[in-house]
Amino acid sequence: MNDPFTTDTDLIEYILSIQNMGEGDGKSRETGSVSGQFLHFVDEMPGGFFIYHAYGGEELIYANKSMLRIFDCDTMAQFRELTGNSFRGIVHPEDLEAVEESIWRQIRDSQYDLDYVEYRIITRRGEIRWVDDYGHFIHSETAGDVFYVFAGDSTERKRLQREAESQAAEERRQYMDLLEGLSIGYESILYVDLEQDRVQAYRLNDRTRKQFAKELEVRRYSEFAPDYVSTWVHPEDREYVARSTASDDIRRQLAADRTFYVNFRVVKDGSTRYVQLRIVNVGESGSVSKIVMGYQNMDAEIVREIERQQLLKNALESANTAIVAKNAFLANMSHDVRTPMNAIMGFTDLARKHCQDGGKLKYYLDRIEAAGDQLLSLLNGVLEISKIESGNLHIENARCSLTETLQEVRTRAMSRAGAKNITLTLDLSGMEHDIVYSDGAKIGHILSRIVSNGVKYTKENGQVSVFVREERADCADCAMYHFIVQDNGIGIAEDMLARIFQPFEREKNTTQSGVHGTGLGLTIAKSIAEAMGGTVEVVSEVGKGSTFTVTLRLCLRDTQKGISSAKKKKPAPTEGKKRVLIVEDTEINLEIETELLRDAGYLVDVAADGSVAVEKVRNSQPGYYDLILMDIQMPIMDGYRATEEIRSLGDPVLSNIPIVALSANAFDEDKKKSRESGMNAHMEKPIDTPRLMNVISSMLEEGNTELETETCSTPDRSGGTLQS
């Protein structure tokens, strides 16, 4: 065969033919012929080369010297003996089956009938080495179907590879240990590729396990994130957690910082826990795609810190709300105080100018009085609200007659109703028990406010009806009372209904219509009702009227020893024989009180402070002073001290002079202190003249010095009373 080889089959044919020629005697290897030279070349090739039958016993046909060297064989005969003259003897028995299977699979799948396998061999010295095997399946005319193989000793490469692998495995183990150490405390760790929309779990806890069937499972992140939120996150935190764990938001946050965290609550088996999710950018810097998410149960200290921060936040919010409320309050007060003040000052100027004109003068004085009344009711309202808000509202539990209370409410509103020709009816037929043990004064106060509004906001010739419905309550000793005040007045617009119980809220049309008011009445009524455990409700329709219902649960039996209700005394005429000592440091008050008492026919003496009063009484003849009107806040000696000193005087007549406090200090504690210092009654300023006279005459003419401070109340001349 002198033609050049056109295919490797030709080449193998050639080798086989030469091989056959020299087989047995070795001549072909020794001759200097071309074929001999060629075979010599193949024999001496640095890489291993061998040919074997593809089928049957896979008998070896040829192997070069390199191949023999790989197996530590010096001769072909040794090699044949070692391998059983078969490819099967070349491969380590443990690898053989897999190697054969791999070769044939590759041949089947390969377009060029090529294969590559790697396997162990056992050398003649019993050493195990590794071999690379690049085989080609061909059909030769001489030998039939054969494999020719280029083989090389890959033991060293394999060793290096194994070393590199074990080094990588060691590094990976160290890396995992490091990760484990750093991630201690993270119950659950996820690796996310935002670009690929993949999330893979590295560590799962009892929650995330519900989202992944097993560790290392891969899910779509865009499905996992909302699934986690809806399954575990507390409903109130869901929106913000969903937002913070959405891909876009994570990208935005990690663009600024390498890591951020989200704190939220999870709910499991009905109990709530705080969790911190830390999200770290683990990809290349400058891009946000690969992230690690670690879920950690927050320890008690962090939870406390969060709660502390929440408290601070709430406190700040309430402080801000309080500032807004205070500013609104001051703005309202400023407006509501200025309006009547303006009237007082304006009409005083006019009165001075026209003091000769009796008719005009009277008109101006009436206007000044009305403005004064308005100021007073505002002041009383604000004081009352502040008292209620500060929790200083004391609710009595005394025997009282609802019939009397309601009749008094009606009587108080009658004159205003009469002036507008409004029919004011009281129907008590729905009431079974008249006597209850409660705070009658406060019930009257609540209802007075509402009835007064009914009259105020009902046009002339209208109708205001008060009726009571009594129902069984949940305890045998109590009953539910519904006090219903119905009018056919102007009604209240729907948008206003929700606000009428808030301070200073007045409907525009009532403000514009010129009906006087402070916007505090209903706030007070509702607050008191609530303090008594009750409610105030309203239904109303513009143009048709309003129905207010006050619901209270009242005791029918005396469950607690209460304080007896006020004793009301009829005023007695004064005869001008009695002497009153007015103790007052403010000149204008002194002037008014003196004028009032003189006008009522009393003799008057004055003292500028408590110490002067004590001296005057001490040095007086017993019986000279019949009564003392005592201011409380005074320089040098206040009214309480002065009273105590007078009560400790040696002369029983002097030490028992009736003393009536007349003070701008109007809270329950002030009245209590008056009583404790030894005063007989406590009246509030501004002075309600008829009441003051009533109290004085009751003490002087009827000798009744046992008046309780509860009888001393300042009327709200706009309609309600301010008993407390």
Residues that bind ligand ADP (CB under 6 A): 453-454, 457, 487, 489-492, 500, 505-507, 510, 517-523, 546
How is residue 393 annotated by DSSP? P
In the bound state, the residue with its beta carbon closest to ligand ADP is 517
DSSP H/E element including 714: strand 714-715
Q: How far is CA 157 from CA 47, 65, 98, 600, in A?
A: 15, 21, 21, 127
The token pair that represents 250 in the structure block: 């994570």
- Indicate the burial class of 162 (C-beta count within 10 angstroms; 0-12, 13-18, 19 or more): exposed
Quick one: 405 or 510, whose CB is closer to ligand ADP? 510
**What is the rounded CA–CA span in Å between residue 227 and residue 485?**
55
3-state secondary structure of 169: helix
Return d(Cα 554, Cα 534) in angstroms, integer: 9
How far is Cα 166 from Cα 695, in angstroms, rounded to an integer? 107
Element of type H or E holding 538:
strand 535-541
Q: Which long-range contacts (CB under 8 A, 24 or more apart) does 173-182 make?
A: none
Residue closer to ligand ADP, measured from CB, 454 or 610: 454
- Chain centroid to Cα 76, Å, comes to 90
- Smallest gap, in angstroms, from Cβ of residue 518 to ligand ADP? 4
- Measured from the CB atom, is 68 or 522 closer to ligand ADP? 522
- Centre a 10 Å sphere on the Cβ of residue 517 and count the other Cβ atoms it contains: 23
> CB-wise, 189 or 450, nearer to ligand ADP?
450
Report the amino acid identity of residue 246: A
| Peptide bond before residue 658 is cis, with ω within 30 degrees of 0 | no
Q: Is the dihedral of CA 666, 670, 675, 678 positive or negative?
A: negative
**What's the min distance (Å) between Cβ of 514 and ligand ADP?**
12
Q: Are 12 and 146 in contact (CB under 8 A)?
A: yes
Helix (H) or strand (E) holding 370: helix 358-389
Q: Looking at beta carbons only, is 90 or 490 nearer to ligand ADP?
A: 490
Q: Are strands 271-281 and 290-297 parallel, antiparallel or unpaired?
A: antiparallel
Tell me the closest approach of the beta carbon of residue 449 to ligand ADP, in angstroms: 6
Of 440, 582, 473, 515, the residue nearest 719 (C-alpha): 515
Enumerate the β-bridge partners of residue 483. 468, 550
Q: Which is nearer to ligand ADP, 546 or 674 (CB)?
A: 546
Q: Within 10 Å of residue 306's Cβ, how many Cβ atoms? A: 15
Q: Which is nearer to ligand ADP, 192 or 450 (CB)?
A: 450
* Residue 453: CB minimum distance to ligand ADP, A: 3
Nearer to ligand ADP, 53 or 387 (CB): 387
Beta bridge mates, 630:
583, 661
Q: List the Cα angle 474/479/482 in 5-degree steps.
A: 115
Q: Which is nearer to ligand ADP, 288 or 343 (CB)?
A: 343
**Beta carbons within 8 Å of 293's beta carbon, 6+ residues apart:** 189, 190, 192, 199, 277, 278, 279, 280
- Closest to ligand ADP by CB, 219 or 456: 456
What's the closest the beta carbon of residue 445 comes to ligand ADP, in angstroms?
12
Rounded Cα distance between 342 and 340, Å, is 5
With contact defined as beta carbons under 8 Å apart, do 625 and 666 qualify?
Answer: no
